[in-house]
Structure 1
Amino acid sequence: MLDLGVNHFTGAIPRSLGNLRLLEQFVISQNDFSEDSLSKELSFIISLSNCKHLRRLWINENPLNGFLPKSIGNLSSSLEFIDATRCGIRSEIPSSIGNLSNLIGLNFATNSLTGVIPTTIKWLLKLQMIDLTDNQIQGAIPSELCYLLNLEGLYLAKNKLSGVVPSGLGNVTTLRYAYLNSNKLSSVIPTSFWSLRDILGLDMSENCLTGSLPAEIGNLKALVYLNLSNNQYLGGIPSTVGTLQDLQELALEHNKLQGLIPDSLKNMLQLRHLDLSFNNLEGEIPNSLQVLSDLQYFNVSYNRLRGPIPHGGPFTNFTNLSFLSNEALCGAPWRQPCTSTFQHESGTKRIVMIVLLASGSVILALVISIFLMRSKLRKKTLAPTQNLLLMAIFERASFHELRKITNGFSESNLLGSGSFGSVYKGIRENGIVWAIKVFDLQLEGAFKSFDRECEVLSCLRHRNLTKVIGACSSPDFKALVLEYMPNGCLEKWLHSNHHFLNMKQRLDVMIDVACGLEYLHYGYSTPIVHRNLKPSNILLDQDMVGHVCDFGIAKLLGDGESMVQTKTLATFGYIAPEYGLEGLVSTSSDAYSFGITLMETFTKRKPKDKMFTEELSLRRWVQDCLPDSIIQVIDVDLLHHEGGLVQRKIECISSILQVGLSCTTYVPEERINMKEILRVLQKIKLQFIKDIVP
């Protein structure tokens, strides 16, 4: 055995390894070895073919950045394990891999593998685990995988796989974990899949799966984790799901599910995470769910639910964030009290409903007309004369009223200034407070900025984006009336001596921001790039909920566009490299800005802090200190003010900063997207609540 793992070795791996004829285990994990051959072929693997007793090959986490040799199948027939995770491998998987008939574990996760999964994999009859997660593999999942009757773990997530899930996989009764999420799989999950009675984890999220959830889902008695979110499932949630009594996490969000929440969920006593948000569910939340004492996360937002919110058991810990945008939920402290209206409809209500239905066609026609008009406006740059059409979407506000409620736009009412104008506080006669953003029309780009904010904000409705109440537009005056945020911006709370946010508050705010950006990127028909995310553009309402603001330079991506070029730059320090150097913006550039803001939030260091130079940036500083010296970068106030369980808090912040690093890689394609960012941060929060919060 030769074990050189977890060091700082550099340079090429010598070909003379092949002289070690009796070598059984070769370990160089977590070093800085690279490949310096001109062909970029990993030649040391070729040399290892002389080691006829080799059983384990661990080369993971080295920047090899090369190609797998086509002769990889010439390695020892005794080889049982290959781990090449995070090696920068950029080739296809050679078909000769099928020669390694004694392989038990094959791990090529987090590389840049291309091409398809070779069909010769069917000859690896002893294979128990294959991990190809986070690559660029295309094509269909080969049916040849169904020959691997000893397979326990199938990890193919985060690739570009398409087509259907092979029905034969349901015959691999040894399967315990199947993670096929974040691909382009379509059609329905084969019925044979629902016979895998011993499977523990199943993740098919973020695909294009259709159909309905079958009653046979209740056959998966051993299941602990089930994620079918972000697909196109229709129909109801089958009541048989309640028989999954060992299930701890059930994620069905972002589908088209209808009907009632089944009362049988009360039988899932191990359940800790339940997400049914962004569907079309109706009726009431079953009161029986109060018995789920282990439930830590619950979300039914953006459905059509109504009636009283349960108030016992785990529901005592859930906030309004779990119940947003439903038809008529009531009974919680933050909502209206329940009345008998929810239990019994009166005769008067029925008459009103009949009248509304009779006039429904007229209303529908009007809505469609407005929608078509707005769609046309989005497809071209707005001219000044078109502002009047767009203003119909907002409440009209007169110049005289705005001037009156801001005391003539006096400095005493000034909330802040931006690139294209100033924001004032205005108090109306009825006591309602507005924030009025007045554009300085003398500044170049102010007209365009106003039009762009109108265009973007008229299309969007999300709790974590600034809400537009009204607008005032004339040739010589333009202003937007916005929802007032009494707690100001995140920058104030991070860098003022008179304000402080604890760990949970900071994490909550960044999750709010991630929700807003995820909606911009994926929640609307046209992806929207914010382009100017930073702490000063994150506002906090009375409940300290974060809202993304300032869409003055936002960019709407056209049909099929993933990246566009612009001459308008945002704030240096927060913009992605490709944006600053070439003017290229995409949703990945927003992810970069989010990552920088995330690191600033937990280090309390601005990216343009005087300590940073050309050689040392905020990202480099954090990267160099992770994981062993992480305490050097953490905002000392976090540990000083909160006390207790310091080590667990350090571990939590370390995980958060690792997300920031994943957002800010130099190459845009290597950054994680906002869906993944949001999911990881939510999991970190769950762990934080479990380990730290009393």
Structure 2
Amino acid sequence: MNLRGTIPPHLGNLSFLLSLDLSSNHFYDHLPKELGQLHRLRILQLSYNRLNGEIPSWLGNLQRVRRLEMKNNNFTGTIPETLVNMYNLEILNLGFNQLSGQVPSSIFKISYLKIIDLSSNSLSGSLPNDMCQHLPKLEGLHLSWNELSGNIPFGMGKCNNLKILLLSYNQFMGIIPRTIGNLTRLQKLYLAFNNLKGQIPNEIGNLLGLEPLYIKANKGLIGQIPTSIFNISSLKTIVLSKNSLSGQIPSSNFNSTMVELISLYGNKLEEFGSAGIVSIKSDVYSYGIILIETFTKKMPTDNVFVEEETIRHWMESSLPKGAIEIADVDLLRREDEYIVVKANCISSIMELALNCSAELPEERKDMKDVVVELKKIKQRLINNIEHF
């Protein structure tokens, strides 16, 4: 409702209030302590405001609250231990604030919790190994974009009802525990941009309901891609790029009808060429697809690509029409005085992308040659603009 100002303390006099939703406004400043008098409150939603200060410890007095949602504010300081007193809590959402310090272990003892969202803060420290022991109903754990460290708890496998596990963009180290294969109801798994090492456990193949799998940018991850991953018939997205995986790309991945995107670039993988000779040109293929995505603003999973047409086939058939017809509209504006020069540059890049993503590995350019060609394209662009 575009409300502005501070939250009035007089709301604390509404002793029979069951639900207070002030979200998506412009409230600022601290939470008035008078709200701690609302002992009958079941729902407290304050997300998408500009509230600041520390999360007050008196929130623990609201023992009947089931939903505490305060995401997208400017709260600072630590998460108070007193939240454990909110023993009826089902949803705890404090994401997108400026919270720091450790995640209180007491939170993991609130047995009714279904969703814990603490993403996009500056939380640090490790997670307790027995974190799932008292969380039989937990369905979503959102901890991405923090500074959490230590190992991914071995006890994570006891969160039997977990559907969403988001741990990307942290500093987790150690191995991916095999017990993660016990999370048979898991639908989303994000472990990207951490310091994980060792091999991807074969038990991930037990997650038969998984749709996206993101284990990107963990340079310590080695070994082969488990073939069990490609037994997950529900998988649509597989992102294992920028690790240190080696060996052959499992040929079975091409037998899945559900997979829409596979990203494996930045590893040490091999694939077989048409003559059965091992090739190491899988990275350059992925790079070619990324070039197409970047300059067209299309994704391989877009609905426009149906049946037999892939993003590469679309590019191959569309390029003769000219770069202006297929390039991202933000890159080529018709009022731009350099539109012809830029269009020629993008056409050259798209031709290079098609070469990189040729179906047969032996037909693709070497990555060193790709870099040389890109430098030439850049220099031609600069020269043409200078002499325009």
Q: Normalization by structure 2: what TM-score?
A: 0.74
Instruction: Give the distance between the partners of 2:225 and 2:54, measured in 1 at CA.
Output: 46
Instruction: Give the distance between the partners of 1:491 and 1:283, measured in 2 at CA.
Output: 37
Note the C-alpha offset of 1:163: 0.4
Contact residue 176 and residue 199 of structure 2 kept, 8 A: no
**Aligned 1:476-487 pairs, distance under 5 A:** none
User: Quick check: 1:208 aligned with 2:195?
Assistant: yes
Instruction: Give the distance between the partners of 2:44 and 2:333, measured in 1 at CA.
Output: 52
- Cα gap change, 1:300 to 1:493, in 2 (>3 Å): farther
Q: 1:103 aligns with which of 81, 89, 96?
A: 89
- Cα gap change, 1:498 to 1:256, in 2 (>3 Å): closer
Instruction: Give the distance between the partners of 1:286 and 1:250, measured in 2 at CA.
Output: 24
Contact residue 253 and residue 276 of structure 1 kept, 8 A: yes
Partner of 1:238: 226
Deviations 1:315-342 (A, max 9, x none): 8542799xxxxxxxxxx99xxxxxxxxx
Partner of 1:487: none
Q: 1:496 aligns with which of 318, 324, 337?
A: 337
**Aligned 1:370-519 pairs, distance under 5 A:** 495-496=336-337, 499=340
Deviations 1:452-473 (A, max 9, x none): xxxxxxxxxxxxxxxxxxxxxx
Q: 2:76 aligns with which of 87, 90, 100?
A: 90
Q: 1:78 aligns with which of 55, 64, 76?
A: 64
Contact residue 119 and residue 144 of structure 1 kept, 8 A: no
What letter is aligned with 1:84? M
Contact residue 211 and residue 237 of structure 2 kept, 8 A: yes
Partner of 1:16: 10
Partner of 2:110: 124
Deviations 1:485-515 (A, max 9, x none): xxxxx7997632865989xx79x99xx9xxx
Deviations 1:16-56 (A, max 9, x none): 11100010110111111111xxxxxx342x31221121011
Partner of 2:258: 270
Instruction: Give the distance between the partners of 2:198 and 2:339, measured in 1 at CA.
Output: 55
Contact residue 241 and residue 264 of structure 1 kept, 8 A: no
Count of matched residue pairs = 319
- Cα gap change, 1:23 to 1:228, in 2 (>3 Å): same
Contact residue 141 and residue 166 of structure 2 kept, 8 A: yes
Note the C-alpha offset of 1:149: 1.4
Note the C-alpha offset of 1:215: 2.1
Contact residue 271 and residue 282 of structure 2 kept, 8 A: no
User: Quick check: 1:135 aligned with 2:121?
Assistant: yes
Unaligned runs of 5+ in 1: 1-6, 36-41, 288-298, 305-312, 322-331, 334-489, 513-538, 551-694
Partner of 1:255: 243
Q: 1:160 aligns with which of 122, 127, 147?
A: 147
- Cα gap change, 1:548 to 1:495, in 2 (>3 Å): closer
Instruction: Give the distance between the partners of 2:38 and 2:235, measured in 1 at CA.
Output: 45
What letter is aligned with 1:495? D
SS of residue in 1 equivalent to 2:10: helix
Note the C-alpha offset of 1:208: 0.6
Note the C-alpha offset of 1:11: 1.1
Partner of 1:176: 163
- Cα gap change, 1:314 to 1:207, in 2 (>3 Å): farther
Partner of 1:415: none
Q: 1:282 aligns with which of 236, 245, 270?
A: 270
Partner of 1:54: 41
Note the C-alpha offset of 1:133: 0.7
What letter is aligned with 1:180? L
Instruction: Give the distance between the partners of 1:255 and 1:549, measured in 2 at CA.
Output: 35
Deviations 1:249-308 (A, max 9, x none): 100000111111101113321111110001001132699xxxxxxxxxxx942589xxxx
Instruction: Give the distance between the partners of 1:166 and 1:108, measured in 2 at CA.
Output: 22
- Cα gap change, 1:548 to 1:154, in 2 (>3 Å): farther
SS of residue in 2 equivalent to 1:78: coil
Contact residue 127 and residue 150 of structure 1 kept, 8 A: yes
Instruction: Give the distance between the partners of 2:130 and 2:379, measured in 1 at CA.
Output: 49
Unaligned runs of 5+ in 2: 276-280, 287-306, 318-330, 354-373, 384-388
- Cα gap change, 1:275 to 1:63, in 2 (>3 Å): same
Partner of 2:283: 301
Partner of 2:184: 197
Instruction: Give the distance between the partners of 2:273 and 2:137, measured in 1 at CA.
Output: 42
Contact residue 20 and residue 51 of structure 1 kept, 8 A: yes
Instruction: Give the distance between the partners of 2:42 and 2:192, measured in 1 at CA.
Output: 35
Higher relative contact order (CA 8 A, sep 6+): 2
Contact residue 101 and residue 125 of structure 2 kept, 8 A: yes
Partner of 2:366: none
Deviations 1:323-373 (A, max 9, x none): xxxxxxxxx99xxxxxxxxxxxxxxxxxxxxxxxxxxxxxxxxxxxxxxxx
Instruction: Give the distance between the partners of 1:546 and 1:74, measured in 2 at CA.
Output: 66
Partner of 1:589: none
Contact residue 60 and residue 83 of structure 1 kept, 8 A: yes
SS of residue in 2 equivalent to 1:230: coil
Which has the larger displacement, 210-219 or 81-90?
A: 210-219
Instruction: Give the distance between the partners of 1:300 and 1:54, measured in 2 at CA.
Output: 56
Instruction: Give the distance between the partners of 1:90 and 1:184, measured in 2 at CA.
Output: 21
Contact residue 261 and residue 286 of structure 1 kept, 8 A: no
Q: Normalization by structure 1: what TM-score?
A: 0.42
SS of residue in 1 equivalent to 2:76: coil
Larger radius of gyration: 1
Instruction: Give the distance between the partners of 1:285 and 1:225, measured in 2 at CA.
Output: 28
What letter is aligned with 1:267? N
Instruction: Give the distance between the partners of 2:86 and 2:379, measured in 1 at CA.
Output: 53
Contact residue 84 and residue 107 of structure 2 kept, 8 A: yes
Contact residue 89 and residue 110 of structure 2 kept, 8 A: yes
- Cα gap change, 1:316 to 1:148, in 2 (>3 Å): closer
Instruction: Give the distance between the partners of 2:273 and 2:172, measured in 1 at CA.
Output: 32
